[in-house]
Amino acid sequence: MSTTDPSPAAGTRDWQAIEVEPDFQELRRRLRSFVFPVTGLFLGWYVLYVLLATYAAPFMSIKVLGNINLGLLLGLLQFVSTFAITAWYVKFADRRLDPLSSKIRQEIQGVDK
Amino acid sequence: MITTVLAQGGVEGSDPILNITIFGLFVVITLGIVIYVSRRATSSASDFYTAGGGFSGPQNGVAISGDYLSAASFLGIAGAIALNGYDGFLYSIGFLVAWLVALLLVAELLRNTGKYTMGDVLAFRMRHRPVRAAAATSTLAVSFFYLLAQMAGAGGLVALLLNITDGFGQSVVIAIVGAVMIAYVLIGGMRGTTWVQIIKAVLLIAGAGVMTIWVLALYGFNFSAVLADAVRAGGETGEALLNPGKQYGATAITQLDFLSLGLALVLGTAGLPHILMRFYTVPTAKEARRSVVWAIWLIGLFYVFTLVLGYGAGAMVGPDEIRAAPGGANSAAPLLAYELGGTVLLGIIAAVAFATILAVVAGLTITASASFAHDIYANVIKKGELTDPDEEVKIARITAIVIGVVAIAGGILANGQNIAFLVALAFAVAASANLPTILYSLFWKRFNTTGALWSIYGGLGTTVLLIVFSPVVSGKPVNPATGKSASMLQGVDFSWFPLDNPGIVSIPLSFLLGYIGTVLSKDVPNADKVAEMSVRSLTGVGVEKSVAH
């Protein structure tokens, strides 16, 4: 077997059959329907921010609190949204992904032993 | 004040003996720890490359922040904020938001499908030899740019802190830094390197935290007052520090450059080979996720600190003095440390900055040597048929020495460049050459060898070509104050690409090439391998069992 295979004994399983099973399809659907839209969301928000900083400098220079202007506030909001998405994903993965993926893993590896 | 700084060559008040002593202490203690933790290590490839996957998520998360928070983050960003204000802040935001790409799309799936290198992931279901050769080529290229940035920082720091102004003396110190780094890698492998990164991350974040609280305390914990003082110290152009566009707002070209930089920053992280490799030092995908979560919190916290430190340096040291200091913008944070805590704090911060460079360079070196030994030597040259398992590690060790020597030579040549900026170029290469292939192979069934080769070589080639013919290398106007051009080469101009950062062209192009290459080729991936990779990437079958023995 090739050196890429983390466990050489695994070459005998019918992967294509496992892949079409409902549990696995559900796992993949859950993962993708979370990570794709959320990636679109945070990249969009980031690009919007960079575009504002580039082409709307007067808007970003509006002072809000003392010398702290909109640009700085929105920049710090990027930090907040990053932390929030991180926490959101961890919660989602713990509840919706991990139980299903360990169930599938046990089924596959149980059959093999 | 400015003239005395120039006359002395070093920072006024800096005590070279004290700086060397503190740094020497760090080297001795970490080397001791490296030797201690490598007692239990075996000579196996798995131990040398990934410490046998034996680190926990939180440990790896701290090590990732140690690997990621390079001298560019600390010295470069603080300097960029001090001199260019708001425009420097973009680096922090891009460097942080980028982690969401790694968290959501890459870390866990990569952990489940590879073993040591990015080449492993690609070779899973594509033709081994060509994709491994391609992956190793881009890994070595990104590592080279990144190494250059770190070693350039080391040169500036030497000038600043050890009061060594002649080129030969600086070169000697860069060589010593390189030699210590090689020692870490050879003795400790990934296990030792990881501990160096953990210790360094704790020191760096704690040091930056203390300075941040100190600065804020001096201004009555009112950040707005820090900003007001930075504006005052900035003189005529002070007000511009708060607003976007001071550095990049001048023309349509510089605005486009800012967008390009922003794109490279946010998409580069998840393609950095030394970061990808860190995901293999934990046993499972769940631990890989925990690593990234820890890393995001620590890195985010640190960038909030650099915002305060940057404006703090602008306020308390002043842009004129920073510009005039040896090392230029990179000296903002050390100069601020001297303003705050005198010679002793300067010594500590200097040692932390050195440690930062050392740890990041060690991480890069082990990644590049793993990629060469594992992908090129064991799998391309020897076709995966090595008889002696120790031979691969032996090759990796020799490669580490070669890379160390190259890093030393590069550091001597790149002395004095702005390091945050050089790192941004490394990010552009990573985002163009690596990220499209990684994402396609994890999420797109049809993606094949041709697509991977087009995307990697096309992305890498375009990025390097555009950098060579950009104003970074030649053709920037000569600054009348210093009599030098801001480009790397003086006195020639062969630039035709207008942007400093190529990301806005090379990243979409590489995604496109990966798509076109795949669609045009008749190459059909092995359906069983595709299914296997898809199941394994999501469930961790094979990986989780393999660590149970």
Instruction: Residue B443: list chain A partners with CB under 8 A.
Output: 32
- Is A16 inside a domain boundary? no
Instruction: List residues bridging with B325 in a β-sheet.
Output: none
**pLDDT confidence band for B3 (50 / 70 / 90):** very low
Q: Which residue has the tokens 């001795």?
A: B28
- What burial class does residue B432 get, using C-beta atoms within 10 Å of its C-beta: 0-12 exposed, 13-18 middle, 19+ buried? buried
Q: What percent of chain B has a predicted confidence (pLDDT) above 90?
A: 41
Q: Is the pLDDT of residue A113 over 80?
A: no
Q: Which long-range contacts (CB under 8 A, 24 or more apart) does A41-45 make?
A: A41/A85, A42/A81, A42/A82, A42/A85, A42/B97, A42/B100, A43/B266, A45/A78, A45/A81
| A70 touching B (Cβ < 8 Å) | no
What single DSSP character describes residue B193?
H
- Is A3 inside a domain boundary? no
Instruction: In whole angstroms, give the CA distance from residue B123 to residue B135.
Output: 9
- Is A4 inside a domain boundary? no
pLDDT of residue B547: 40
- For residue A90, the one-letter residue type is V
> What is the tens place of the pLDDT at every residue in B222-242?
999 999 899 888 877 777 888
Domain range for A86 is 21-107
Are B501 and B261 in contact, with CB atoms under 8 Å apart?
A: yes
Instruction: In whole angstroms, give the CA distance from residue B104 to residue B438.
Output: 13
**pLDDT confidence band for B417 (50 / 70 / 90):** low
Residue of B86, B100, B532 with shortest CB distance to A82: B100
Among B296, B532, B537, the residue to mutate for chain A (most A Cβ within 10 A): B532
Are B208 and B305 in contact, with CB atoms under 8 Å apart?
A: yes
Are B303 and B216 in contact, with CB atoms under 8 Å apart?
A: no
Strands (E) in B449-534, as ranges, are 478-479, 484-485
Are B445 and B534 in contact, with CB atoms under 8 Å apart?
A: yes
**pLDDT (average), residues A4-13:** 52
State the Rg of chain B over Cα: 23
CB atoms within 10 A of CB A64: 12
Instruction: In whole angstroms, give the CA distance from residue B323 to residue B518.
Output: 50
Degrees (nearest 5) of the Cα angle B12, B14, B19?
A: 165
User: Would you call B539 and A104 a contact, using CB atoms and an 8 Å cutoff?
Assistant: yes
User: Would you call B531 and A50 a contact, using CB atoms and an 8 Å cutoff?
Assistant: no
Q: Is the pLDDT of residue A34 over 80?
A: yes
Residue of A28, A31, A85 with shortest CB distance to B100: A85
Strands (E) in B171-253, as ranges, are none
Highest mean pLDDT among A81-85, B142-146, B352-356, B481-485: A81-85
Q: Which whole-number Å values give the CA distances from B85 to A52, B91, B309, B312, B410, in the listed order?
A: 16, 11, 11, 11, 30
Q: What percent of chain B has a predicted confidence (pLDDT) above 70?
A: 93
| A12 touching B (Cβ < 8 Å) | no
User: Would you call B86 and A71 a contact, using CB atoms and an 8 Å cutoff?
Assistant: yes
Instruction: In whole angstroms, give the CA distance from residue B134 to residue B460.
Output: 10
Are B352 and B207 in contact, with CB atoms under 8 Å apart?
A: yes
Residue B26 or B106, more confident: B106
Instruction: In whole angstroms, give the CA distance from residue B195 to residue B251.
Output: 46
- Is A14 inside a domain boundary? no
**Contacts (Cβ under 8 Å, ≥6 apart) of B239:** B231
- Is A81 inside a domain boundary? yes
Residue of A4, A47, A93 with shortest CB distance to B124: A4
- Is A1 inside a domain boundary? no
Domains and CATH numbers, chain B: 6-420 (1.20.1730.10)
**pLDDT (average), residues B190-199:** 91
Instruction: Residue B392: list chain A partners with CB under 8 A.
Output: none
B290: helix, strand or coil: helix
- What burial class does residue B58 get, using C-beta atoms within 10 Å of its C-beta: 0-12 exposed, 13-18 middle, 19+ buried? middle
ipTM, two decimals: 0.89
User: Would you call A13 and B532 a contact, using CB atoms and an 8 Å cutoff?
Assistant: yes
From first CA to last CA, the distance across chain B in angstroms is 65
Q: Is the pLDDT of residue A21 over 50?
A: yes
What are the residue ranges of helices labelled H in B219-284?
A: 223-233, 252-268, 273-278
Instruction: Residue A51: list chain B partners with CB under 8 A.
Output: 259
Total domains in chain A come to: 1
pLDDT of residue A56: 87
> What is the tens place of the pLDDT at every residue in B175-192?
888 888 888 888 888 998
Residue B170 or B421, more confident: B170
What single DSSP character describes residue B251?
S
Are B168 and B17 in contact, with CB atoms under 8 Å apart?
A: no
For residue A37, the distance in angstroms to the closest alpha carbon of chain B comes to 11
For residue A39, the distance in angstroms to the closest alpha carbon of chain B comes to 7
Q: Is the pLDDT of residue B73 over 90?
A: no
| A111 touching B (Cβ < 8 Å) | no
From first CA to last CA, the distance across chain A in angstroms is 19
- Is A9 inside a domain boundary? no
> What is the tens place of the pLDDT at every residue in B362-379?
899 999 999 999 999 888
> What is the tens place of the pLDDT at every residue in B136-174?
999 999 998 888 888 877 766 766 777 777 778 778 878
For every residue of B75-111, which 3-state class applies, written as one string? HHHHHHHHHHCHHHHHHHHHHHHHHHHHHHHHHHHHH
Instruction: In whole angstroms, give the CA distance from residue B456 to residue B371.
Output: 15
For residue A11, the distance in angstroms to the closest alpha carbon of chain B comes to 9
Instruction: In whole angstroms, give the CA distance from residue B507 to residue B505.
Output: 6
Least confident segment among B310-324, B382-396, B416-430: B416-430
pLDDT of residue B416: 63
Which helix (H) or strand (E) segment holds residue A69: the answer is strand A68-69
Largest CA distance in chain A: 67
What single DSSP character describes residue B284?
S
User: Would you call A105 and B242 a contact, using CB atoms and an 8 Å cutoff?
Assistant: no
For the record, the structure tokens of B17 come out as 């003996």
Instruction: Residue A80: list chain B partners with CB under 8 A.
Output: none
**Contacts (Cβ under 8 Å, ≥6 apart) of B439:** B105, B106
